[in-house]
Amino acid sequence: MAEVFAAPSRYVQGPGVAATLGDEMTRLGLEGPVLILAGASAVRRLGAIWEQSLGPAGFAPTIHPFGGECSRREIAAVADAARGLAARTIVGAGGGKAIDTARAVAAELDLDIVSLPTIASTDAPTSAISVIYSDEGVVEESRLHPRNPALVLVDTDVILAAPERYLVAGMGDALSTWFEARACARSGATHSRGGTPTRAALALAELCWKTLRADGTAALAAQRAANQTGGRAMDAGARGAFERIVEANTLLSGLGFESAGLAAAHGIHNGLTVAPGCHAALHGEKVAFGTFAQLCLEDAPAGEIAEVLAFCRSVGLPVTLRQLGLGGIDGGLLQQIATRAVQTGEVTHNEPFPVTAAMVEGAIRRADAVGQGG
Ligand SMILES: [Zn+2]
């Protein structure tokens, strides 16, 4: 099996970079017409900036409002709009679902895709994957596309203005990256891009975890202060921590998961989605608990488990079933979660040892007990 590393062609992050969209597209040789698929808050925040940035660069954009779900119906509707426009480039702007929809449309029409995330809650913007849901919001498939985005444009002023819960959830998604990469390296599992991990991907995944430990609490404090003061009064140290965490949540975590692989943390996340009680929990919040349970499943050193527990507590990520909305869970539901986590083809089987539902159930119980303890 060959080692494979996949990445976006260009990643640009910083305060105010949304205004450089036109210049960045010109630099990359991307063509118009441009269809921008955007959620309502992205349009409010960035609509005027896009007109100013794309118009002078010769790309008159058409903004298409996102319907709210990355479903086959939505993908077909946006693809029709893009065909009607003879679009050459698709821009996905907003949260993960808007970007996933835009990516699926671009893949279907063989067009270039630009990701413009407005929150840092997951590592999806850099990837070549769309998670497709039914119109009712149930996961139907993970669709793999041939190419990563041509451009990922991360305006950290926009991210800074978002609610802090999204940044924390992004840290939960990023928390899993190193531990899942390490599991895949040990087992020799194949990642989603069709190869085994390079040393580059493993180094980025490890840097992701180091960055969370070094800067997580300072970045969260910076965002909290910015939300209270309308973005004013941030010193350079706080801004630096915030920028590094946005990079960890988006780029390091994205490259790490896609080119090193996923394991039990995301498998247990997928298991948790069968429990209605935690539907209000964000992806990264469930992944954080999944990471904690993965380490219990692996019987990781007590010091490492304690370190992950301390990190989760320091930024407010869930470490118990109750914090996920599953307090007082009955044995039957726990069994269902564990069974879903080990279904055929699930990433839980990327662990370097055979994993059964009973083992996952035990790991979740142990994580919950450790999380409740001192
Ligand atoms: Zn994830």
Please say whether the beta carbons of 35 and 64 come within 8 A.
Answer: yes
CA of 285 to the centre of ligand 1 (A): 10
User: Residue 67 region, left (φ>0) first, then alpha (ψ -120 to 50), else beta?
Assistant: alpha
Distance 123 CA to ligand 1 centre (A): 6
Q: CB-based burial of residue 99 (10 Å sphere; 0-12 exposed, 13-18 middle, 19+ buried)? A: buried
Q: Which two tokens stand for residue 336?
A: 């269902």
The pLDDT confidence band at residue 141, using thresholds 50, 70 and 90, is confident
CB 159 within 8 A of CB 120: yes
CA distance 55 to 193: 36
For residue range 10-30, list pLDDT tens digits in order: 999 999 999 999 999 999 999
Q: What is the pLDDT of residue 233?
A: 65
- Per DSSP, the three-state class of 153 is strand
- Flag whether pLDDT at 232 surpasses 70: no
| Residue 351 one-letter amino acid | E
Taking the C-alpha atoms of residue 109 and residue 97, their distance in angstroms, rounded to an integer, is 18
Distance (Å) from CA 301 to ligand 1 centroid: 24
Please report how the helices 164-187 and 253-260 are oriented relative to each other, as an axis angle in degrees rounded to 10. Answer: 30
List CB contacts of 326: < 8 A, sequence separation 6 or more: 272, 275, 277, 278, 333
Task: Give 272-311 pLDDT, tens digit per residue.
Answer: 988 989 889 999 999 999 999 999 999 999 999 999 999 9
Q: How far is the CA of 228 from the centre of ligand 1 (A)?
A: 29
CA 282 to ligand 1 center in whole angstroms:
10
CA of 154 relative to ligand 1 center, distance in Å: 18
CB 361 within 8 A of CB 332: no
Q: How far apart are CA 112 and CA 34, in angstroms?
A: 10
Active site residues: 173, 266, 269, 283
Compute the distance between CA of residue 197 and CA of residue 331 in angstroms, rounded to an integer. Answer: 37
Residue 340 has pLDDT above 80, yes or no: yes
How far is residue 77's CA from residue 99's CA, in Å, rounded to a whole number?
15
Mean per-residue pLDDT for 156-182?
A: 97
374: pLDDT strictly greater than 60: no
Q: Which distant-in-sequence residues (6+ apart) come within 8 Å of 283 by Cβ?
A: 96, 121, 122, 169, 172, 173, 269
Q: In what order do the strands lie in the sheet with 112-117?
A: 11-14, 151-155, 112-117, 89-94, 34-38, 61-65
Architecture per CATH, 164-372: Up-down Bundle (1.20)
3-state SS class at 275 = coil
Helix (H) or strand (E) holding 143: strand 139-144
Q: How far, in Å, CA of 88 to CA of 360, rounded?
A: 46
Run of H or E including 302: helix 302-315
Angle of CA points 283, 263, 344, to nearest 5°: 100
Ligand 1 midpoint to CA 44 (Å): 27
CA 334 / ligand 1 centre spacing (Å) = 21
DSSP 7: -
Task: Classify 154 as helix, strand or coil.
Answer: strand
- The model carries a pTM of 0.96
Q: Please tell me the total number of residues recorded for the chain in this structure.
A: 374
> In angstroms, rounded to a whole number, what is the distance separating the alpha carbons of residues 297 and 351?
10
The whole-angstrom distance between residue 338's C-alpha and the CA centroid of its chain comes to 23
Topology of domain 11-160, CATH: Rossmann fold (3.40.50)
Distance 173 CA to ligand 1 centre (A): 5
Cα dihedral 162, 164, 169, 174 sign:
positive
Q: How far is the CA of 370 from the centre of ligand 1 (A)?
A: 23
**Residues 354, 28: Cα–Cα separation, whole Å:** 45
Q: What is the pLDDT of residues 174-231, one digit of tens each?
A: 999 999 999 999 999 999 899 999 999 999 999 999 999 999 999 999 999 988 887 6
> How many angstroms separate the alpha carbon of residue 246 from the centre of ligand 1?
15
Mean pLDDT of 158-183: 97
Q: Tell me, what's the pLDDT at 241?
A: 97
Q: How far is the CA of 270 from the centre of ligand 1 (A)?
A: 10
Do domains 11-160 and 164-372 share one topology? The answer is: no
8: pLDDT strictly greater than 90:
yes
The C-alpha atoms of residue 130 and residue 78 are separated, in whole angstroms, by: 15
Does residue 79 carry a pLDDT above 70?
A: yes
Tell me what the mean pLDDT of segment 134-158 comes to. 90
The pLDDT value given to residue 227: 86
Is 90 exceeded by the pLDDT of residue 347?
yes
Q: For 96-119, what is the mean pLDDT? A: 96
Sequence-ordered list of residues with C-beta below 8 angstroms from that of 18, at least 6 positions apart, any chain: 46, 49, 50, 53, 116, 153, 155, 158
Q: Which residue ranges make up each domain of the chain?
A: 11-160, 164-372
